Amino acid sequence: MRYSKLFGRTSKEAPHDADSVNARLLVQAGFINQLAAGIYTYLPLGLRVLMKIKTIVRQEMDAVDGQEVLMPALIPKAPWETTKRWDAIDVLFKLKGAGDKEFALGPTHEEVVTPLVQQYVKSYKDLPVSVYQIQDKFRNEPRAKSGLLRGREFAMKDMYSFHTSLADLEHYYDRVKQQYLTVFSRCGLDAIITEASGGVFSKYSHEYQVATPSGEDLIYQCDACQWAVNREIAQVKKGDACPVCGKGIVLEIKAIEVGNIFKLSTRFADDFGFRVALEDGSAGKVWMGCYGFGPSRVMGSIVEVHHDDAGMLWPKSVAPYHVHLVSLSHKDEDVKRQIDEAAQDMHDELEAADVEVLWDDREEVRAGEKFADADLIGIPLRLVVSEKTLAEGSCEWKERHEIDARLVKLKDVQEQTKEWLSAPERLTSH
């Protein structure tokens, strides 16, 4: 992709009203654009990141036998009355349709998925089953803030599992709990499994927390066994001996919540009278789990964790492009043509090897500005072609998280880039 043709440019100034690092950098770099508080448009660079995060979570939910569905955002009032949540959820956006019929815009989908599964699942033989969707949710937040971290409209992956017993739910819950670590790790985040309030349905839920100084949450974690708990329910304080392993010391950590999973027990199935025929012919209760993951929130969290003063540092797995190719223009027409041709060749070679390239081909822009834009955008590998590098038959190779650059021969670039791309991620949260 030629940067000169890309829709959504960097701007020289940071937005004056950004209340968080992710909002500031994502807006300034041309990844997202704010339409209203907590409501954003994804520009091409930002949408590529969001889609990669969605693909990762889709693959990992498929790996735990989740089946993808897509439920509507518009949900009639009736099921919310069945669960007594029409008035209980304070962030519910409500609206009226033709004939004064009332609807809510779904901030969560227990009210849709429970009666849906009830229509198809009649017998214990049909269970367990787990369905998920990647869909836009709505929350009427009184104070939307922090860029992509707390929005009024945002992407969610919500999965719901159904079981004939608590034991089966717990077995599946543990499986998803582990798989979530893979999802976050593939997104370049070291997530900490943290005990949190389970509400009325179970003793604990589990949150996935990522340590960062800008985090809104405070968690306590043992420095030996890694056990962690949210301050909201913590019975320990900083410096205490770990109540779980007895060996470590409890640390206090600022963190962002990037996912959560709940055991819902039989609460929603009971509300809808959802029972299944058991082997002995009796009508058995149905146990549910739910598993949330916010792709847009995760995108914002990655920026909170992976940035420096110059801009963002995207992990290879979710970067909008793998390579930021920069060609430096030249006054001499012949030299300029040579540089352009070399850059074009490199672009074509890399794309042919499935390497995604953003090519800053702008003619009127100085080198310093191009480098500043590349740092801001944060693509993990920058390759520069200039008169100087071509004199050596080379380009300049600089990884975003490293300070030094080096020369790589043009004939070796494709090979080395492929190697670099398949090597393990070096960017982690800590």
Give dist(CA 232, CA 234) in Å, integer. Answer: 6
Q: How far is the CB of 291 from its own copies (least distance, A)?
A: 16
**Smallest gap, in angstroms, from Cβ of residue 306 to its own copies?**
22
- In this structure, are residues 325 and 383 in contact, taking their beta carbons and an 8 Å threshold? yes
CB of 35 to its own copies, least distance (A): 6
Alpha-helical regions (H) of 157-205? 166-186
Could you give the angle at the alpha carbon of 11 between the alpha carbons of 10 and 16, nearest 5°? 130
Q: Give the residue with the Cβ less far from its own copies, 145 or 254.
A: 145
Q: Which residues have CB under 8 Å from 255's CB, separation 6+?
A: 192, 194, 209, 210, 211, 212, 215, 217, 218, 219
In the complex, the smallest distance separating the C-beta of residue 77 from its own copies, rounded to whole angstroms, is 10
The vertex-44 CA angle with 313 and 405, nearest 5°, equals 30
Which of 76, 79, 62, 155 has the alpha carbon at shortest distance from 117? 79
CB 285 within 8 Å of CB 269: yes
The residue (of 7 and 422) whose beta carbon lies closer to its own copies is: 7
Whole-angstrom Cα distance, residue 196 to residue 218?
11
Min separation Cβ 39 and its own copies, Å: 5
Q: Contact positions toward its own copies, by CB under 8 A?
A: 5-9, 30, 33, 35-36, 39-44, 47, 50, 65, 67-76, 93-95, 97-99, 101, 103, 105, 112, 116-117, 119-120, 129, 131, 136, 138, 140-143, 152-153
Nearer of residues 43 and 236 to its own copies, judged by Cβ? 43
Nearer to its own copies, 67 or 226 (CB): 67
Which residue carries 């540092």 as its tokens? 313
Residue 269 CB, nearest approach to its own copies (Å): 16
Q: How far is the CB of 7 from its own copies (least distance, A)?
A: 5
356 burial via Cβ count (<10 Å: 0-12, 13-18, 19+): middle
Question: Please, which residue, 254 or 362, has the CB nearer to its own copies?
Answer: 362
CB-CB contact of 219 with 194 (8 Å): yes
Query: Are 263 and 289 a contacting pair, CB within 8 Å?
Result: yes
CB closer to its own copies out of 59 and 226: 59
Neighbours of 420 (CB within 10 A): 17
Complex with its own copies: residue 131 or 236, whichever CB lies closer = 131
